[in-house]
Structure 1
Amino acid sequence: MDEEYDVIVLGTGLTECVLSGVLSVEGKKVLHVDRNEYYGGDCASLNLTQLFRKFRGTETHPESLGRDRDYNVDLIPKFMMANEELVKVLIYTDVTRYIEFKLISGSMVCRKDVINKVPATVTEALASPLLGFFEKRRAKKFLEFVSGYKDDDPSTHENLDLDKHTMVEVYDHFGLDQNSQEFIGHAMALHLNDSYKQEPARETINRILLYVSSVARYGSSPYIYPLYGLSELPQGFASAIHGGTYMLNTPVDEIVRDENGKFVGVKSGDSIVKAKLVIGDPSYFKDSVKATGKVVRSICLLQHPIPNSDDTDSTQIIIPQNQANRKHDIYIACVSSAHNVCPKGFWVASISTIVETDNPSQEIEAAIQLLGPITERFDYVSETFVPLNDGDNSQIFISKSYDSTSHFVSVHEDIKDIYRRISGTELVIKKRATIEEEQAAFEAAQ
């Protein structure tokens, strides 16, 4: 433990593991530490005994639930877009060699207590019950505009400047009503609330393109998910390390700083491990973060698919804020034995949203009502944190807490932001050379 490193990473949440993997691939000497005996941090996947111990204070659970080892229940479930940058990071760091992914069957949105598939193509828009007769024609024209837009071809622009015109101006240009705006903005572009409408349209258009291209890649849904739960991702990084060192079950007693507050090292027991900088989740830096709110989550074990979800083995359902009479959307992520997270005949449905009142459990009632009979239910509320500073002076780079969404859009934004602050450059994922290409380059240099 007297060795000195380029980077120390604290916590094995996905944000920390991605940064650890990328920096290791770039040749940095990385030490990755977690106080827990398992991978994943706040987004760990628990077996049945761990689940009951955490939420009920007992390891005893009904035999009717099946075998302990058949469960891998995510504390914070999230799905990936098939074409998103985070998937490219997993490929870049070789993590995909150790993990198998499966398509999430459905992507749905709730309106007036009824759930429907989110239309992602012109054909689906024309057939969707979410849209009225005349609205279908307008949505068709909008989706054709999105898929055909080219920066260097003004004939595809419809006299719109995506960097100047706001999204509400784009909606108005195509005559889209509130119903269309709701599923486009929340279920396709995955915005957390309606504030995006007043921002330049480019980000939203890019998000819609990502959604549509991800659907086109595999079929019915844009989302993929790792077999055996999200904890497989940090374990995959540990398997694919490129000179990095992982240490679980290692207490962190102190973040050592010099007289100017700059990071020196991490103290564990009697040892101090030094490094040039440290990356970690908020739980390791309680004096350097501020609370931003709370998220309520409910993990529900079901013995049936979610009613009216086409009897699929998995789905994401978004209840837009206006449908729930709230300021924030409600998310439902449902997976099943098809994803090796529970026994056959069971489904795991997880609900989440940002807390707005003094009665968090009541705030998710609209989602609970969609699930049908619930076999077991585990509710909890957690605070969310952000760093107090950018880490430039202290060389302490702290990630944000995971939000209430059931996707990784905001997580990847945080990863890119931390990388930018550390390196001063954008995170650009390049195609890595194969072993054969590296060998040929080595021989050519001799």
Structure 2
Amino acid sequence: MDENYDVIVLGTGLTECILSGLLSVDGKKVLHIDRQDFYGGESASLNLSQLYSKFKPSAQKPEFLKGRDRDWCVDLIPKFLMSNGELTNILVHTDVTRYIEFKQIAGSYVYRNGRIAKVPSNEIEAVKSSLMGIFEKRRMKRFLEFIANYNDDVPSTHQGLNLDSNTMNEVYNHFGLENGTKDFIGHSMALWPNDEYLNEVARPTYERIVLYVQSVAKYGKSPYIYPLYGLGELPQGFARLSAIYGGTYMLDTPIDEVLYTDDKKFAGVKTKEGVAKAPLVIADPTYFPERVKKTGQKVIRAMCILDHPIPNTNDLDSVQLIIPQNQVGRKNDIYVAVLSDVHCVVPKGYYLAIVSTIIETEEPHVELAPAFKLLGPRLDTLMGIAELYEPLDDGTSSGIFISKSYDPSSHFESTTDDVKNLYFRVTGKPLVLKQRPSAEEEEALNGL
């Protein structure tokens, strides 16, 4: 296999697969290699045997868990898609929606004052919400109306606020919102992982809330959608896309050697199949450990197997639950993603709750206690800890472009930011997604 390519991609994580799909569509000749024999890299979905051999190698998978191995598809990195978010736009733009069926997540919940409540997604729900007293509801309604009506070109909609100079805290205070209300707006609608955003300008938070509200408006109930059979379907969808446009895939192929030019630029790779040459490579951090640095953060994730829905969520089949850090005396939020057999990730009668957060102490499992308390009895819990990495440089001088590790947030917006950033670094031009007519879009997401 002595061949020349435009791009070599190492690892089949979601970020890498989206890029190989996009670059193939752009007409680039792409070779995509993974040392593992399954798609998804760090973001794969595992069956029951794979799951237990990864997280409890010394234990047998328990007899009491029913169903065949392949009835279980457990995400290593659980995230939902915002139905109006960037990843959904990329899926529609590239037509990968042809290969994947999505189902809606039935509810979005937030923890406040010791209990959980549905996140109000519009002015009407805000008025009914159990999260606030009657006067606070009015203030919240006014805040949401301001967000909905705000128009950069119409100063009368600004209420004297400037999104590019006022901090988010100043905007909240303008509406007289209580700290608890700021908490659930900032963490369960704008989806910030901590409170640093309060002292930054308001526009990014405004944009995040608009995205949340638009995503809810798309299908009602919650802003989130999720692929049947787990997130492992996403990298495979982009892999198929790449293949249609002439991309070559090689799984189960370790890299024997990375080749460089005399001036230390990437030149290609050597594998059991031979030598493949390309002027640039896109890779996940595990392929170039010497070219990445630890961010200093580690994520703990707990896969909890249950035989009941989450208490106090109206027996919904799927839920996004956020525990804002303030509510439990932490610096980072705790995320809980709950799925069931309607998403084809567990056999009937089971529920999967995946809890994740950034570790802050020497006893990370204890940090998840507030979430465990809300889940009720668990049949089994598997825990893993992942170090987060980011590239040392932008890759332009070496031709080696490395993706970031996946953060603990429960949606893909930060991942798609990394995709767009990498795309720009690799091609020198921004990723522009074509708008498609919404009828096609509706048809594409026909699983909802």
Distance 1:95 1:400 in 2: 23
Structure-to-structure mapping, 1:402-417, within 5 angstroms: 402-417=406-421
SS of structure 2 residue aligned to 1:239: helix
SS of structure 2 residue aligned to 1:209: helix
Match of 1:399 in 2: 403
Identity %: 59
1:81 is aligned to 2:82? yes
Distance 1:82 1:153 in 2: 28
Distance 1:58 1:193 in 2: 36
TM-score by length of structure 1 reads 0.95
1:263 is aligned to 2:262? no
Match of 1:167 in 2: 168
TM-score by length of structure 2 reads 0.94
CA RMSD of aligned residues (A): 1.3
Do the aligned partners of 2:253 and 2:272 also contact (CA within 8 Å) in 1?
no
SS of structure 1 residue aligned to 2:375: coil
Q: Which moved more, 1:196-205 or 1:260-269?
A: 260-269
Structure-to-structure mapping, 1:200-279, within 5 angstroms: 200-241=201-242, 242-269=245-272, 271-279=274-282
Match of 2:126 in 1: 125
Structure-to-structure mapping, 1:328-347, within 5 angstroms: 328-347=332-351
What are the Cα deviations for residues 237-296 of structure 1, in whole angstroms up to 9, with x where unaligned? 122222211111111123222233211112213722111211111000100000112111
Name the amino acid aligned to 1:224: I
Distance 1:268 1:212 in 2: 48
1:13 is aligned to 2:16? no
Distance 1:23 1:145 in 2: 40
Q: Is there any run of 5+ residues in structure 1 with no aligned partner, and where?
A: 434-446
Name the amino acid aligned to 2:75: D
Q: Which moved more, 1:247-256 or 1:305-314?
A: 247-256
Q: Is there any run of 5+ residues in structure 2 with no aligned partner, and where?
A: 438-448
The equivalent position to 2:307 in structure 1, one of 303, 310, 332, is 303
Match of 1:97 in 2: 98
Distance 1:372 1:200 in 2: 39
- Kindly tell me: are residues 59 and 37 of structure 1, through their superposed partners in 2, closer, same or farther at Cα, counting changes over 3 Å? farther
SS of structure 1 residue aligned to 2:252: coil
Do the aligned partners of 2:20 and 2:239 also contact (CA within 8 Å) in 1?
no
Q: Which moved more, 1:254-263 or 1:224-233?
A: 254-263
Distance 1:380 1:59 in 2: 15
Distance 2:128 2:268 in 1: 59
What are the Cα deviations for residues 288-332 of structure 1, in whole angstroms up to 9, with x where unaligned? 000112111100100001111111100010000111211100000
Match of 1:146 in 2: 147
1:172 deviates by: 1.3
What are the Cα deviations for residues 58-104 of structure 1, in whole angstroms up to 9, with x where unaligned? 58423331121210111111000000111111112221000000000
Do the aligned partners of 1:355 and 1:363 also contact (CA within 8 Å) in 2?
yes
SS of structure 1 residue aligned to 2:278: strand
Q: Which moved more, 1:294-303 or 1:85-94?
A: 85-94
Q: Which moved more, 1:171-180 or 1:424-433?
A: 424-433
Match of 2:188 in 1: 187
The equivalent position to 1:387 in structure 2, one of 385, 391, 403, is 391
Distance 1:4 1:206 in 2: 43
Match of 1:61 in 2: 61
Match of 1:439 in 2: none
Distance 2:189 2:147 in 1: 12
Match of 1:440 in 2: none
